[in-house]
Amino acid sequence: MRLLIMGPPGAGKGTQAKSIAEHFDIPAISTGDILRANVADGTPLGLEAQRIMAEGGYVGDDIMNGIVADRLAEDDCAKGFLLDGYPRTLPQVEAVDEILDRAGVELDAVLSLRVDVEELVSRLRKRAESEGRDDDSEQAIRVRQQKYLDETSPLLDVYRDRGLLVEVSGVGDVSEVTERIFQALDRVATAS
């Protein structure tokens, strides 16, 4: 299965991505995790990304496209993958199209996790307390939600038009949402 998971910050993408990846025995690739690992290691990329991430902005498309092209070229992605947090912009959609075209493969589905804004802000405040991510400050949360609305949510229409969008409610217990996702994606897997 070749999958994307999309949804606003705080929708639970990272948590669900891990369960989905296990279910389909594919790697979950989080571009946010890759960037955070670079920040932790103090690499040149990490030094560049740190400030942008802390402010809630987006790291440049060229950088992100390069990271994802390299990661998808690794052996474990031959059996499929789940991309979490990428693509976030239209140029990133074009880049992933090109990467997959060149490899002669296609996406099977794009999962959209739907959660309303009030619920999201309250979840992110709780995460700020428990995980201490520096992009979970009140201001950064607001910037990230707005960036998602302006730049990333239009991508849902692109994938809807391609007939790839699978929409699932992200509200409820984590395990309840996981079950809902499995049901929706298992239908895609049997159809393909």
Which residues have a catalytic role annotated? 13, 88, 127, 133, 144
Order of strands, edge to edge, in the sheet holding 2-6? 28-30, 81-84, 2-6, 109-114, 165-169
Quick check: 148 binds ligand AMP (CB under 6 A)? no
CB of 184 to ligand AMP, least distance (A): 21
Query: Judged by CB, which is closer to ligand AMP: 156, or 189?
Result: 156
What tokens were used for 155? 């991508």
Query: For residues 168 and 106, what is the distance between their CA atoms, to the nearest angstrom?
Result: 21
Residue from the set 31, 50, 112, 178 that interacts with ligand AMP by CB under 6 A: 31
Residue from the set 24, 81, 86, 159 that interacts with ligand AMP by CB under 6 A: 86
The stretch near ligand AMP (CB under 6 A) out of 54-62, 98-106, 110-118, 162-170 is: 54-62
Beta bridge partners of 112: 6, 167
Query: For residues 157 and 139, what is the distance between their CA atoms, to the nearest angstrom?
Result: 28
Count of residues near ligand AMP by CB under 6 A: 18
Residue from the set 15, 23, 27, 58 that interacts with ligand AMP by CB under 6 A: 58
Residues 98-127 that bind ligand AMP (CB under 6 A): none
Q: Are 96 and 87 in contact (CB under 8 A)?
A: yes
SS3 28: strand
Query: For residues 29 and 8, what is the distance between their CA atoms, to the nearest angstrom?
Result: 17
Quick check: 52 binds ligand AMP (CB under 6 A)? yes
**Over the Cα atoms of the chain, what is R_g?**
16
Contact residues for ligand AMP (CB under 6 A)?
9, 30-32, 35, 52-53, 56-59, 64, 85-86, 88, 92, 135, 144
